[in-house]
Copies of this chain bind each other. A is one copy, B any other.
């Protein structure tokens, strides 16, 4: 008996040792695109090949959010190819960042960092806790589920929101709410984590009406895409103090322009879309590639398959 030929997979546009090793560790062989059954594409949509060889069955993209590939018509142009995103691969780093932002807000760190003298009595009433608080996690994909897992020992009750309403697991998940019942959650939660995909249906998911139902100590954390939050309405809520604050790794517009009011608001934490920095991303993407290559070689279902009809 001879072992079967290894699966041939192309890597473009950038060849790195780390990804070559991920592909070979996954049980495949790196090859030219013309001979490949799959393509690991570590670039953006602009230089994506206009034509793919008929042999290519699967393309692995490098980012978790793929709206730019939708906008560029990539999926329409290759209807017979299975595309996978890197959704989930970067979940752990983004989730860690999410909890860092949420805890910084709850523990009043932005104002404490500005202090230049001992303001203990003034700060006392503002120090909150996640223990016993309710946190709505809107979008229970890779990031949302990881956030729920990180929050478990903090003793917060989680309201998980997903499209289907199918129960999200976690000892701390008190309830899973389907997206169509989203209007019910705002008045019942202390904090909101936005981790849903950017689709036409999720634009301004957090707007004026939603913010109005939150509490003066509520923090809104957005690590998904800027457009899910209505920035103008958020600025008003932050200026009024009608919510506690906002932690934003993504903004609308993005990059946030100089002079934008969010930069000056004392209860906003802006991190410039760095929750998944290249240093951490590269290692996480290589892990994801290794896993999906092994699944492809073994004919198993791929992780993070893109559903062109659903829009993510």
Across the interface, which residues of B come within 8 angstroms of A275, CB to CB? 127
Contact string against B for A residues 145-173, beta-carbon threshold 8 Å, 1 for contact and 0 otherwise: 00001101111000000000000000000
Contact string against B for A residues 251-263, beta-carbon threshold 8 Å, 1 for contact and 0 otherwise: 0000111100001
Report the Cα distance A150→B107, complex, angstroms: 15
Q: Nearest Cβ in chain B — how far from A108, in angstroms?
A: 8
Query: Contacting A112 at CB < 8 Å: which of B131, B255, B270?
Result: B270
With contact pairs A103-B99, A130-B96 given, residues A120 and B255 touching in the complex (Cβ less than 8 Å) = yes
Q: Nearest Cβ in chain B — how far from A193, in angstroms?
A: 15
Let me know if A307 is at the binding interface, CB within 8 A. no
Contact string against B for A residues 231-268, beta-carbon threshold 8 Å, 1 for contact and 0 otherwise: 00000000000000000000000011110000110000
Q: Nearest Cβ in chain B — how far from A52, in angstroms?
A: 32
With contact pairs A125-B277, A264-B116 given, residues A131 and B96 touching in the complex (Cβ less than 8 Å) = yes
Let me know if A299 is at the binding interface, CB within 8 A. no
Across the interface, which residues of B come within 8 angstroms of A187, CB to CB? none
Determine if A124 and B277 form an interchain contact, defined as CB atoms under 8 angstroms apart: yes
Report the Cα distance A101→B100, complex, angstroms: 9
Determine if B118 and A255 form an interchain contact, defined as CB atoms under 8 angstroms apart: yes
Let me know if A81 is at the binding interface, CB within 8 A. no
Across the interface, which residues of B come within 8 angstroms of A104, CB to CB? 100, 103-104, 109
Let me know if A178 is at the binding interface, CB within 8 A. no
Determine if B112 and A113 form an interchain contact, defined as CB atoms under 8 angstroms apart: no
Across the interface, which residues of B come within 8 angstroms of A110, CB to CB? 113
With contact pairs A103-B96, A107-B96, A130-B96 given, residues A120 and B154 touching in the complex (Cβ less than 8 Å) = no
Determine if B116 and A263 form an interchain contact, defined as CB atoms under 8 angstroms apart: yes
- Closest B residue to A268 by beta carbon equals B113
Q: Nearest Cβ in chain B — how far from A179, in angstroms?
A: 26
Determine if A124 and B154 form an interchain contact, defined as CB atoms under 8 angstroms apart: no
Let me know if A115 is at the binding interface, CB within 8 A. yes
Across the interface, which residues of B come within 8 angstroms of A131, CB to CB? 92-93, 96
Contact string against B for A residues 112-143, beta-carbon threshold 8 Å, 1 for contact and 0 otherwise: 11011111100111010111000000000000
Let me know if A215 is at the binding interface, CB within 8 A. no
Let me know if A80 is at the binding interface, CB within 8 A. no
Determine if B258 and A116 form an interchain contact, defined as CB atoms under 8 angstroms apart: yes
Let me know if A297 is at the binding interface, CB within 8 A. no
Contact string against B for A residues 265-285, beta-carbon threshold 8 Å, 1 for contact and 0 otherwise: 000011111110111100000
Report the Cα distance A158→B15, complex, angstroms: 36
Let me know if A106 is at the binding interface, CB within 8 A. yes
Across the interface, which residues of B come within 8 angstroms of A100, CB to CB? 100, 103-104, 106-107, 109
* CB within 8 Å of B: which A164-193 residues: none
In the A-B complex, the 9 residue pairs with the smallest Cβ-Cβ separation, listed nearest first, are A118-B255, A100-B103, A120-B272, A100-B107, A124-B277, A127-B277, A118-B272, A116-B263, A117-B258
